[in-house]
Amino acid sequence: AQSVTQPDIHITVSEGASLELRCNYSYGATPYLFWYVQSPGQGLQLLLKYFSGDTLVQGIKGFEAEFKRSQSSFNLRKPSVHWSDAAEYFCAVGTGGGNKLTFGTGTQLKVEL
Partner 1 sequence: GAVVSQHPSWVICKSGTSVKIECRSLDFQATTMFWYRQFPKQSLMLMATSNEGSKATYEQGVEKDKFLINHASLTLSTLTVTSAHPEDSSFYICSALQGVRGTDTQYFGPGTRLTVL
Interface residues toward partner 1, by CB under 8 A:
4, 32, 36, 41-46, 49, 51, 90, 94, 96-106
Neighbouring residues of 49: CB distance < 8 A, sequence distance ≥ 6: 32, 33, 34, 35, 57, 59
DSSP summary character for residue 99: T
**Minimal distance, residue 50 CB to partner 1, in Å:** 10
**Minimal distance, residue 64 CB to partner 1, in Å:** 18
**Minimal distance, residue 93 CB to partner 1, in Å:** 12
Q: Do 65 and 72 contact (CB within 8 A), yes or no?
A: no
Closest to partner 1 by CB, 15 vs 98, is: 98
Closest to partner 1 by CB, 15 vs 108, is: 108
Q: Rounded to whole angstroms, how far apart are CA atoms 106 and 23?
A: 9
Closest to partner 1 by CB, 7 vs 96, is: 96
What 3-state class would DSSP assign to 98?
helix
